[in-house]
Amino acid sequence: MTSAREEILDRVAKAVGRDDIDTETEKRLTDRLRQLPTKLRPQWNDDPVERFVSKLRAVAASVDVVGTAADVVESVQTFLREHNIPLAVTVAPDDRLNRYPWPDGLKVSRRNAIPEDVTSITLAEAGVVETGSLVLPSSVKSPTGMNFLPENHIVILRKDQLVKHLEDGWACAVKSSNGIPRTVNFITGPSKTADVEQTIEYGAHGPRRLHVVLLAGS
């Protein structure tokens, strides 16, 4: 008895006027497929920072390349002021974020995000130069809600965390989590959709704005 799959393929073959291939032809085609290169990855020679920044801006994210921890804080405040956003942020409960000198004029809450939050700040474990994607594995110190609930998402990333390809980003997520994390978010730009009349709308399923601060110094 033939399977449903075989019956469907047989009908397709008959519809296009193609008979069963002989053994020799099948072998030749199989050998040809086996000779095709696998795991191809795009290559480039331009500066990784410039390429990463270009990819981010192409997907409607804003980005600042800064040199110091103080510059990171200044970038955050400038972003908030430019978009008339309240000077209040929810910072992921990650001890690495304590190094930044948050000023008294900026209200900082260290916890997971809630729907009422307007702006969140998190760290990325990697930035993928190939696509301009940010790699954010979930954990107690980096809850997934931080990436989706607030209308504005600010991500801090170090220059030495840039990797070339998506596969490299996955490896970073696994390494930073000491194993496969429960969730890994590859974030490429702010949330957007064109479901209605093919018109781009931002913030449909997550943050309306994504701001990346790339720390190139210490």
The tens digit of pLDDT for each residue in 65-108 reads: 999 999 999 999 999 999 999 999 999 999 999 999 999 999 99
Please give the domain boundaries of the chain with CATH numbers for all domains. Answer: 48-215 (3.40.50.10420)
Predicted local distance difference test score (pLDDT) of residue 32? 83
Residue of higher predicted confidence among 188 and 9: 188
Predicted local distance difference test score (pLDDT) of residue 44? 86
Rounded to whole angstroms, the maximal C-alpha distance in the chain is: 78
pLDDT tens readout for residues 139-184 = 999 999 999 999 999 999 999 999 999 999 999 999 999 999 999 9
SS3 154: strand
pLDDT tens readout for residues 36-45 = 777 788 888 8
Amino acid at 170: W
Q: Of 56-60, 80-84, 92-96, 192-196, which gets the smallest average pLDDT? A: 192-196
Helices assigned H by DSSP within the chain: 4-15, 23-34, 48-58, 69-82, 166-176
Residue 185 corresponds to which tokens in the numbers above?
A: 């978010």
Place of tokens 């030495």: 160
Mean pLDDT of the chain, nearest integer: 91
Predicted local distance difference test score (pLDDT) of residue 105? 93
